[in-house]
Amino acid sequence: MIDQQILAAQRLSRDEIHQLQSQRLRALVRHVYDNVPFYRRKMDERGVKPQDIRTAEDIDLLPFTEKSDLRDHYPFGLLAVSRREIVRMHASSGTTGKPTVAAYTREDLDNWTELTARSLALAGIDDTSVVHIAYGYGLFTGGMGVHYGAERLGAAVVPASGGNTQRQLTLMEDFGATALCCTPSYAINLAEAMQEKGVDISRMQLKTGVFGAEPWSESMRTRIEKMLHIQAHDIYGLTEMMGPGVAMECEAKQGLHIWEDAFLPEILDEKQQAAPEGEAGELVITTLVKRGMPLLRYRTHDITCLTHAPCPCGCTHARLRRITGRNDDMLIIRGVNVFPSQIEQTLLQIEGITANYQIIVDRRGALDTLTVMVELDPARMSDTVRDVEALSAYVAAQLSASCLVHATVKLCPAGSLARSEGKAKRVIDNRRYE
Ligand code: DLL
């Protein structure tokens, strides 16, 4: 049964949305100005006072927030409430080893639950659903974020978390999963494993999938839908905003509805000016209802465009086009955010290799692969094959400890990796999302 409160929130009138945005933006700016020294300083530098912000249109008076600002204030320097009010923390990879922190008050968690519930409802999830969640549980926001949203809708939740594919299949079959939530690449993995195991998919109960946390393409959607006999929906979110459920695709699958009463989105061009509606640019989001760690004009570095055209599904919130890329160097490998700078930092601490390296990302089948080519130090060139193998295993272990993804390490002779004549081309990403 469709939850009436959720339905009403999905269908606020445009006037109501605008009113809520303006009212919440005013309250937010006052809150951060009074409680976060970083924002007070940034606003003072711009000569902006809380009373200057009257409507949502005044957003461009406010300062931006960068991921590096979060790092510089790690872990709790951007809290807008006392530490006692924080009841949960999550984190994702940062650029230099220090994670990006998200801290939630009780009210923040309730809002997150509500927004994720709204999102899942767009994929047809309700109190009759059995929701199998194979997003990771833990510091990553995917598992717990989707979990509480599904429970809020009255669905029966299976918190499977990631890994152990065979067991996932058994659970999905035995518990009668009707919805699958995981990264799109893992969905393909599961589907392939089902085929290998000879599972008759038409006898399973699966109807819908909620896939996100990494870019994916229309052709990948077609493949997943065909292999699993489901409708595959795209879900978007980021730790800094709360986690999954910032935006979600409805049955029309023509973009992701971004919950505009909770997030004020802007699409900015390369000069950080508003891009005309429908034109691609960087998504910048201001949190409108967060209390614990609210962010003004957070630069997501995700590239998309926004449309306010009415959607056939009846949901009134604007839509983002599927996110296909970023304008910074963050890589998403099997759902894990990896910065080349993290890899570099790890490599530079290891003796026996030079400072020259190359990162190659490929997609084999549905799975992203990470290969790191590293040059052997000239002094180690006479090492035995065994020594070289041991060094390469050591480098791989260090990388997987610092970046949380498996990397294949290829050691090559000193001087063999191409030297750059300007900016080093450190990363070769062979994946395509169109
Ligand atoms: O990936 C939150 C999430 C969990 C979203 C589960 C959806 C489902 P982070 O680890 O902080 O948070 O990574 C956020 O992942 O800035 C995008 O670059 C990328 N991303 C997330 N969802 C999508 C998507 C979670 N649907 C970063 N399509 C974001 C493309 C996505 N990229």
User: Which residue, by CA, sits nearest to atom 29 of ligand 1?
Assistant: 238
pLDDT value of residue 383:
82
The minimum-distance atom of ligand 1 relative to the CA of 256 is 26
Please tell me the distance from the alpha carbon of residue 287 to that of residue 316, in angstroms, as a whole number: 19
- Cα-to-centroid distance, 413 and ligand 1 (Å): 37
pLDDT at 326: 87
C-alpha pair distances (Å), 375 with each of 80, 117, 232, 383, 430: 46, 49, 43, 13, 21
* Exposure class string for 342-381: b at 16+ Cβ within 10 A, else e: bbeebbeeeebbbebbbbbbebeebebbbebbbbbbeebe
Distance of alpha carbon 181 from alpha carbon 196, whole angstroms: 21
Position 4 scores a pLDDT of: 93
State the pLDDT confidence band at 47, using cuts at 50, 70 and 90. Answer: very high
Write out the two tokens for 67: 């991921």
- Nearest protein Cα to ligand 1, atom 9: 238
Distance CA 115, CA 314 (A): 17
Answer with the residue of higher pLDDT: 354 or 27.
27
Residue minimizing CA distance to atom 15 of ligand 1: 213
Which token pair is 395? 């480098």
3-state secondary structure of 39: helix
| pLDDT recorded at residue 261 | 98
The number of the ligand 1 atom at minimal distance from the alpha carbon of 135 is: 6
Quick: pLDDT tens for 227-259. Answer: 999 999 999 999 999 999 999 999 999 999 999
Q: Which of 139, 238, 248, 432 to mutate to test the pocket of ligand 1 (most atoms within 8 A of CB)?
A: 238
| Distance from Cα 415 to the centre of ligand 1, integer Å | 37
Contact 252/236 with Cβ under 8 angstroms?
no
For the segment 285-306, the average pLDDT, to the nearest whole number, is: 97
Residue 424 has pLDDT above 70, yes or no: no
Residue 382 φ then ψ, to 5°: -95, 10
Q: Is residue 332 over pLDDT 80?
A: yes
Whole-number Å distance, alpha carbon 196 to ligand 1 midpoint, is 29
| Residues 6 or more apart in contact with residue 213 via CB below 8 angstroms | 135, 142, 183, 237, 244, 332, 335
Mean pLDDT of 300-309: 96
Q: What is the pLDDT of residues 93-140, one digit of tens each?
A: 766 667 899 999 999 999 999 999 999 999 999 999 999 999 999 999
Q: Quick one: average pLDDT of 406-417?
A: 90
Residue 418 confidence class, pLDDT cut points 50, 70, 90: confident
Better-scored residue on pLDDT, 215 or 85: 85
Query: From ligand 1's centre to the CA of 238, what distance in Å?
Result: 5
pLDDT score of 34 more than 70? yes
| pLDDT reported for residue 173 | 96
Three state DSSP letters for 268-298: ECCCCCECCCCCCEEEEEEECCCCCCCCCCE
Are 113 and 243 spatial neighbours (Cβ–Cβ below 8 Å)?
no
Q: Find out whether 211 and 183 touch, Cβ atoms under 8 Å.
A: yes
Query: Binning pLDDT at 50, 70 and 90, where does residue 416 land?
Result: confident
Q: Which atom of ligand 1 is nearest to the CA of 300?
A: 16
Q: What is the mean pLDDT of residues 47-55?
A: 98
User: Which of ligand 1's atoms lies nearest the C-alpha of 326?
Assistant: 18
Q: Phi-psi bin for 307: left (phi > 0), alpha (psi -120 to 50), beta?
A: beta
Q: Which of 76-80, 177-181, 277-281 has the lowest mean pLDDT?
A: 277-281
Instruction: Indicate whether 217 pLDDT > 90.
Output: no
* % of the chain surpassing 70 pLDDT: 97
Q: How many helices (H) and strands (E) are present in the chain, helices listed first?
A: 11, 21
Taking the model in full, what pTM does it have? 0.90
pLDDT at 84: 97
Question: Quick check: 403 and 338 in contact, CB under 8 A?
Answer: yes
| Nearest ligand 1 atom to alpha carbon 330 | 18
CA 382 – ligand 1 centroid, Å: 45
Protein residue whose Cα sits closest to atom 13 of ligand 1: 238
User: Which pLDDT belongs to residue 151?
Assistant: 98
Identify which of 70, 133, 216, 236 to mutate to test ligand 1's pocket (most ligand atoms within 8 A of the CB): 236
Q: What are phi and psi of 103, to 5 degrees?
A: -125, 135
- Cβ < 6 A, ligand 1 pocket: 92, 135, 141-142, 212-215, 234-239, 243-244, 300, 302, 323, 326, 332, 337
Give the Å distance between the CA of 243 and the centre of ligand 1: 8
Q: Looking at 319-366, which runs of residues are DSSP E strands? A: 319-320, 325-326, 331-333, 336-338, 353-364
pLDDT in the model for residue 425: 75
Query: Could you tell me the distance, in angstroms and rounded to a whole number, from the CA of residue 197 to the centre of ligand 1?
Result: 30
Take atom 4 of ligand 1 and give the residue whose Cα is closest.
142
Estimate the share of the chain in helix, then strand, then coil, as percent rounded to the nearest 5.
35, 25, 40
Provide mean pLDDT across the span 273-291: 96
- The protein residue with its alpha carbon nearest to ligand 1, atom 27, reads 238
The residue among 192, 171, 190 whose CA lies nearest residue 182 is 190
